[in-house]
Structure 1
Amino acid sequence: MSQTERSPDIEYKHIAAIARRVISCRSVYKGVPVKIMKGDVTGAFRHLMLASEHVRWMAATIQELGVLIIDMLAPFGWTSSPAFYGAFGGAITWLVCRECPASMDPSTNDHEPFFAYEWVDDHVLVEPEINNRLHLANEALRLSMLAILGPAAINEEKLSTWETQLQVLGLEFDTDACTISMPQDKIAKALGSVHIYMDASNSGLAVLNPATRQYIQVQFDAEEQRLIQRASGCSGFNSNVREQLCVALAAWSFGPAWPTQHTVLIKAWSDNTSAVSWTNRLASNNPLAQDLNRAIGLAGAVFGFRILCGHLPGSSNTMADAGSRAWTPPYVKLWTNLSSAWQQIPVPPTLRKVYKPFSSSFSLTRWPLAQGQSTPRPGGNGRLGAWNTTSTRGYQQTANSTPINSP
């Protein structure tokens, strides 16, 4: 029963079909309100009776009570239940779509079939508000549910009224404005996973945050151009380091704006596989990359996020690619067009070259100083601070007569 290869082949229409229906109605019935309604089937999966040879797989016992339980219906969560129910949901839609106002009311001359859309047990109708078309479409949906699954299938609580603004399948449809948007609560939830896109070239770098339409852009100066020329292999200011610099700048520039109620997962997309590996492992043999990893790790701890890098083919990273080369043709024109409605986030001077020794970018007072070769081991010089001591609960206990060193 859980073998997916034996499940019915169900093809669901894309939700864009609803949007196309709205546009079509507004085009044909100019000036006429277009309205939308939704409904679903009560306990949809409970309407599917199991074949006799399968019932035994839906049985259980409570030995202590001497009870045998046999489920005669297909429960929700069974591997194939959505596919099997899809056949019944599709049948409801088929019945609605074969009806029209004229077939429901002989006094009406409207022969255009009703529009119906289903996603498993959710049903959506979109119709122009002309004559009694809305009322008859509603009745067609109810009668179709009744014919396929019986009177218990009609869920009065989930059958909405006809509206021009309605949340359907997790999206907010506005038929007057012809817009589809995501509810604010879903946007807030989606912020838990932020995607940024980046690219670095010999000219500069760019980091994009599409969720806020903001970007970071840096043009490498003369000093960095000399570092690029001297870089060789895996050392120096090579392409891997420059790509990882994108991550560090994004962490400190965008980080303060990311929500702090819980740890946010940031997915950074790059076409440089080495930068992806170095950032995910926070490890590299390149000294510049090591300092960048320290900066990235500190930003994550301060602002409460975790950055993971993913590989993205360069051919799919058009905007970031143009942004990192925006000072030379033909990229300057392409970048200008793509970023016209975006906001640039300035990089603070203290972070501009964060790949330099870590402590030069962050206050020395925050970090322990490295011990020199002349630093003696603990207890290797001076008088011992305490004697005849005992340790309780991990804390050192000293007697009142314990001598102490003078300051």
Structure 2
Amino acid sequence: MAEVYRKFIQGQLLRSLEAAETSVRAVRTAAFLAVGVQPPASSPPVDPHDDYQLDVEAQRALSELVRRSDLSLADTIRVWRGQTATDPRPNKALCPDPLEWLLVGYEQQSLALKSIRTGIQHCFHPHGAVIPHGQDIERSNHKSAVVLANSLLHSIRDGQDLGTYMVVDKDVAARWPAIRISRFGCVPKADADPRTEARVIHDLSFPRGASVNDASNQADLPPLSYEHVAALARRIESIKVRNPHATVKIKRGDVKAAFRNLFGHVDVCAKFAGSLPRQGAVVVDLALPFGWTGSPAHYGVFGGAVTFLVRRESPATLVPGSSDRERFYCYTWVDDHVLVEQDHDDRLELCEVALRLAMLAVLGPRSINEPKFTHWSTQSRALGLDWDTTTRTVSMPPDKIAKALLRIRELLQSPGVSRTSLSQVLGSLRHVCSCIRSARPFFQRIAALYRRSPRWSRRPLSAGAKLDVLWFEHILVHGQLQGVPLRYFGALPEPDVHIYMDASDSGLCALHPASQAFLRVQFDEEERALIARNAFSPSTYGSNFPQYSQSCAGDTHGSQWSRIR
């Protein structure tokens, strides 16, 4: 019954959105006709040679509208998105009114509602270096965008059809002094043909010192915090501890297009433009782009709202008469939502319904990425790790271990490393840090090296950095990253045995109070010589203080304690 209700709600929202989209097209048509511009006819997305092309009709009509009416960039965006005095929402799929009461108690409710009504706002700093406007318009794209030009056009065309990209002629864009052109780049997607599909990245970090990201005000961004992946382990363990015979299952849901559901305010969109030199066109990105430093934080407000709604529900709130009042669990990482529940009665079905309803309420009727929704299972890959709720273990997938080893060995063999190669290595090693706590300091040192690395040149690895990378290589080969018990994952359990250890210049001492035993190991002559050459830093107590501690323990407990032989 709950699923039937969910489908009904989605159908109602979809019909409302389609009506709003009809109104948007009417606003555009009225604006064209008012200045004598022929409204655009339909333009095929693919030419006879299977190459993607822009909606040249929409580009023509919009460009001519600006020439004849001398519209500002802000007013042109409003016309394209159908923003009127009665309905100023930039994205008609998002509805603020239901969220006025649905999100009561959510700490970011006011920001979410404001973003829906007017678009994402941001107060940029003035640029430290001013780029001549003509030079800005003529900016070329990254080589990846040239190589994958067909995929770039595919994405831009889809955005034109969906209303997330606005394309005009180059001479029209030159009329708008506020517009900022940044380079496009393309990154191949997994399991997709790069000749036709790739992820478009807006390089908003170029040029260094005068980029859009440099001008972004970090203090004006919402707080961004992600719950550590260890929360999933704690959730599974909590159910198993409460009921050892319970069957625990995992399901992963995904938001379609993620950042692209959030539209920028008209003033913000001016910073998110790109150029297509071969087409003589300028593209204005109307949604949050991949590449802007503020996109994750602003999307986090909406992803958090989805989690807030799911965690507020229970079977009793969805099905009248249900006695199960335990609230559902939802873990969120950007656009990935992971559900972990006990397989009991209809709890699994209702938890999924709660997630789908939350996505519909917050991000609209087209936000659910159906192909990315997995089945409920005791074995699932989530957040790059393999989870087994039956054996209560988590593993780093073998393919990710092999990929990490390949990247590390390439790094070690290279005479110089780039910022990109360090970024790729860090992306592979984050899973090691999840499984092995002691890896984090080594990871942090490599991350610090990445942050210090120049953007465009290569530098040799220092001796210390090589040792850090070698440490990770040994862990990947010998670290037993398969079947890590969940109770050790992300946190250490309460110790069963307490052994206190200390060292001095002359040896080691270990105390086991529970058995009233101690162990002392004397360094040999060679070891003492090595210690002496290290010239340990002086401290308040001196390097022989631990030796005094051993003597003190021996004097105090020596008559009762035995020495371990």
Bigger fraction of residues in strand: 1
Bigger fraction of residues in helix: 2
State which structure, 1 or 2, has the greater radius of gyration over its C-alpha atoms.
1
TM-score, L = length of structure 2: 0.36
TM-score, L = length of structure 1: 0.49
